[in-house]
Amino acid sequence: MWVDVAQIVSALAVTLTLLALIVSIRQNTRSQKALAVDSLAAAITSINVPAMESHVLGSALSKATADWGSASREERIIAHYFLFSFFKLLENAWYLQKAGILDQAQWIGWETLLRKYYYAEGVRRVWWPGRKDAYSPEFQKFLSGTKPPDELGSLNELFDHVERNV
């Protein structure tokens, strides 16, 4: 009888240990997801801080994305490095979303912005064909299967917008 009681107690202890482990893993998973989201936010901030410090990046990006040829050589260089970093960041975000780390609701905003840049004339006609091989074949395939978003205007529309009181 004592052996049976000991086995029951032992089984309960194992069960409680497994439950504690499951709770711990769930908490760790939530924490890791939060860190991934924070990491994406920090990365996009580090890409955008130079644009806030100097209008040159915004102007270069605005011109190059609309029409690669309308930007000067220097503006195309600046736009290239932003676009390269931006698309790498969004490739990482896409993989995080595929892995279930980045929630679908969070991914929607990233994906809309990604499609906006991807379908910009200067990117689609010149920059992407020259740089797409720097990205994974899976990410390239994903992008090729998307459609242009309706939700966002161009950078020129945003930068040049002046609200007038009539």
71 φ, ψ to 5°? Answer: -85, 150
For the whole model, what pTM was predicted? Answer: 0.72
Q: What is the pLDDT of residue 47?
A: 76
pLDDT (tens digit, 9 = 90+) per residue, 68-112?
999 999 999 999 999 999 999 999 999 889 988 888 888 998 899
d(CA 117, CA 123): 7
Q: pLDDT below 50 — which residues of the chain?
A: none
Tokens of 23: 């709770």
Q: What is the pLDDT of residue 154?
A: 65
Residue 121: in which H helix or E strand, if any? Answer: helix 121-122
Tokens of 86: 């931006």
Q: What is the pLDDT of residue 76?
A: 96
Q: What is the pLDDT of residue 15?
A: 86
Q: What is the pLDDT of residue 156?
A: 66
Q: What is the pLDDT of residue 23?
A: 80
Chain-centroid distance, C-alpha 39 = 10
Cα Rg of the chain, angstroms:
24
Residue with tokens 């490095």: 81
In degrees, rounded to 5, the angle at the alpha carbon of residue 92 between the alpha carbons of residues 89 and 96 is: 135
Q: What is the pLDDT of residue 20?
A: 81
Q: What is the pLDDT of residue 34?
A: 64
Torsion of the alpha carbons at 17, 18, 19 and 21, rounded to the nearest 10: 90
Question: Can you list the pairs that 73-79 forms with residues at least 24 positions away whose Cβ atoms lie under 8 Å?
Answer: 79/122, 79/127
